[in-house]
Amino acid sequence: MRRAMLAVVCGVFVMASARERRAEPQGGATIAGKIKFTGAKPANPKIDMSEEPKCKAKYQAPPTEETVVVNPNGTLANVFVYVKSGLPESYKAPAPAGGVTLDQDGCRYHPHVLGILVGQPLEIKNSDGILHNIKAKGTKNRPFNISQPTTMTSTRTFTAPEVMVPLECNVHGWMHAWLGVLPHSFYGVSGADGSFSIKGLPPGTYTIEAWQEKYGTQTASVTVAGSETKTQDFTVAGK
C-alpha cells in the first residue's frame, strides 16, 4: 500500500517535472522590434575555400563572411537582443528544454549568432566531415578548443553568463560564431527580416541590449505589463 502510494506520488512528480521541462514561457509580455540599418552597406570579405573543395562545392557564388548581414528589406540580421537587467533577483529560469545546436556546414557556422542558457548543452555538429576545430574564447567561461576531424557531434556546457563567447575555427580562419550565454531565455536573434522578439516576460522595466559583432551594443529601457507586446526598434548606422 505504502509502496503504491509512493509510486503514484513519484509518477505525478515525474509528470509534473516533465511538463515543466517542456514548457515554453507562456503568457507574459513580449518585446519585439526590428533592427534597422542606415548608411553605407559594408562589403563582407569573400572567403577563399579552394583548400576545401568539399565546402566550396556547396556554394554557387563565392561565399562571404557574415560580419554585417543586411537583409533585402534594409534591416540587419544576426543581432543578439537580450534582457540585460530588470528581472527580479528571485527569478529562476526553467530548466532548458534540450540543447542548442551549432552546425558546421559548408565551412560556416549555422547559426552565426545564437543564445544559450547557463548549463544548457551546446551540441556542436560537424556536417562537413572535414577537420574543424571549435575554439570557445570566453573569459567568464573557461575557454576550450576541441578537434572534430570527421562527421560528429560534441557537447559542451557553459557555467557563467557571458555576452558574447566568441567561437572560431583555426583551420578555417574565416569561421566565426557568437554565443550569448544567459541565466534566462529572454533573448532573440534578428532574422532574415530583421525582426526579433522576446516572449514571456514578467511585468517590469527592463534594460534590453542589442549586440552586433561589428557595431557593438545599444541599450533601451522598456516597461511591460500583463501580456502586452511592446515594440522596441534599434537603428544601426553603417560605417
Partner 1 sequence: MISALLALGLAAGAPFPLPPSPLPVQDTVKGKVVYEKWCAGCHGETGAGDGPAAAYMLPRPRNFTGAVYKIRTTASGQLPTDADLLRAIDEGLAGSAMPAWKGRLSDAERRDVLAYLKTFSSFFADTSQHVVALKFGGEPGGGTSAEALKVGRQFYDSIGCRKCHGDQGRGDGPSAPTLKDDAGFPIFAADLHQSWRFRGGATAADIYRRLRTGLDGTPMPSFSDLIDQKFLTDEQLWRLAQYVRSLSPARTPEVRDVIHAPRLAAALPAAPGDSVWDRVDRYWLPLVGQVIRKPRWFGPAVSGVWVQAVHDGKSVALRVSWDDRTRSPDTTWLGFERRVLETVAGDDSGGGRTAGPFPDQLAVQFPRRIPEGMERPYFLMGTETDAVYQWRWTSAGGSGAAGGAVGGLARGLERFDTLPGGPAAQTSYEHGEWRVMFTRSLATPDTANELQFAAGRAIPVAFFAWDGSSGEHGNRLAVSTWYFLALDQPTPPRVFVTPVVVMLLTLGLGIVVVRRVQRRQA
Looking from the CA of 178 toward its CB, the CA atoms found within 13 Å total 17
Minimum separation from the CB atom of position 143 to partner 1 (A): 6
Q: Could you say whether residue 16 binds partner 1 (CB under 8 A)?
A: no
Q: Which is nearer to partner 1, 91 or 144 (CB)?
A: 144
C-alpha cell at 132: 574543424
Alpha-carbon distance of 25 to 185, in angstroms, equals 9
Q: Map the footprint of partner 1 across residues 61-80, applying CB under 8 A.
A: none
CA 156 to chain centre: 15
Q: Which is nearer to partner 1, 79 or 136 (CB)?
A: 136
Closest CA to 234 of 194, 179, 187: 194
Q: Could you say whether residue 143 binds partner 1 (CB under 8 A)?
A: yes
Indicate the SS3 state at residue 3: helix
Helix (H) or strand (E) holding 22, with range, is helix 2-22
Alpha-carbon distance of 167 to 49, in angstroms, equals 19
Applying CB under 8 A, the site for partner 1 has a residue count of 26
Q: Which is nearer to partner 1, 168 or 209 (CB)?
A: 168
| Interface pick for partner 1 out of 173, 216, 226, 239 (rule CB under 8 A) | 173
| Interface pick for partner 1 out of 144, 203, 207, 225 (rule CB under 8 A) | 144
Q: Which is nearer to partner 1, 70 or 171 (CB)?
A: 171
Q: Could you say whether residue 91 binds partner 1 (CB under 8 A)?
A: no
Minimum separation from the CB atom of position 57 to partner 1 (A): 18
Q: Which is nearer to partner 1, 139 or 229 (CB)?
A: 139
Largest Cα–Cα distance of the chain, in whole Å? 75
Q: Could you say whether residue 147 binds partner 1 (CB under 8 A)?
A: yes
Q: Which is nearer to partner 1, 58 or 156 (CB)?
A: 156
Minimum separation from the CB atom of position 167 to partner 1 (A): 12
Q: Which is nearer to partner 1, 11 or 62 (CB)?
A: 62
Q: Could you say whether residue 126 binds partner 1 (CB under 8 A)?
A: no
Looking from the CA of 64 toward its CB, the CA atoms found within 13 Å total 11
CB neighbours of 112 closer than 8 A, spacing ≥ 6? 66, 69, 78, 176, 177, 178
Minimum separation from the CB atom of position 127 to partner 1 (A): 15
Pairing assessment for the beta strands 152-156 and 187-189 based on DSSP bridges: unpaired
Sequence-ordered strand ranges (E) for the chain = 29-38, 80-85, 100-105, 108-110, 113-117, 122-126, 132-136, 144-148, 152-156, 162-168, 176-182, 187-189, 195-201, 204-212, 216-224, 229-231, 234-237
Minimum separation from the CB atom of position 97 to partner 1 (A): 24
Can you give the binding site for partner 1, defined by CB under 8 A? 51, 130-131, 133-137, 139, 142-150, 152, 154, 156, 159, 170-173
